[in-house]
Structure 1
Amino acid sequence: MTEDRTIEYSPLSGPVTQAGITVDVKIFRFLGTGDPWTLEVVDHEGGSTVWDETFLTEHAAYEAFRNALAQEGIGSFVMPPETRH
């Protein structure tokens, strides 16, 4: 039997826009568990980038996002458009 669990989102979650591109930063964990935080970035088409590691604090998760943003740019979170031939 699987128990339904409620997801808790950090207030640090939300849209981030850079160079005209907006992504949705999601920092979450199961409510009331004390579990580490998970970091996911979702692009405008629903493409998702999820970190393999988890984070002890929501601030550490957000810092990991900010570091990736600074190093790789926001375009690294956007899925390339589908090419049709």
Structure 2
Amino acid sequence: MAKKPKLEHSELAGEFTDDGITVLVDIFRPAGADGGWSLEVISENDDLTTWEEPFPTDEEAFNEFLATVARDGLRSFFEVDPSVH
């Protein structure tokens, strides 16, 4: 059985709450890697939204999350089908 690679999680990752709605923002990359931060958002209903392209920095990933919230709202992460950005 193959081992899962160890991941490094950004300090910007964590719960994000707005207007009574909470999601988990996960920003991570393989441990020891330079750049290539992945962004995932998990809703209270376990809906998963994943961005296909990695970000050069964890800050850019978090800023993309904030831009999505400003544009579409947190409810956009509560979908019947998982989303990919």
Q: State the TM-score, normalized to the length of structure 1.
A: 0.86
Unaligned runs of 5+ in 1: 81-85
Question: What's the counterpart of residue 76 of structure 2?
Answer: 76
Identity, % of aligned pairs?
A: 38
Distance in 1, matches of 2:26 and 2:63, equals 13
Deviation above 6 Å: which 4+ runs of structure 1? Answer: none
Deviations 1:11-56 (A, max 9, x none): 0000011111100000000000224000000001211000111100
Unaligned runs of 5+ in 2: 81-85
**Greater C-alpha radius of gyration:** 1
- Equivalent residues in 2 for 1:5-84 (5 A)? 5-80=5-80
The total of aligned residue pairs comes to 80
Distance in 2, matches of 1:2 and 1:33, equals 20
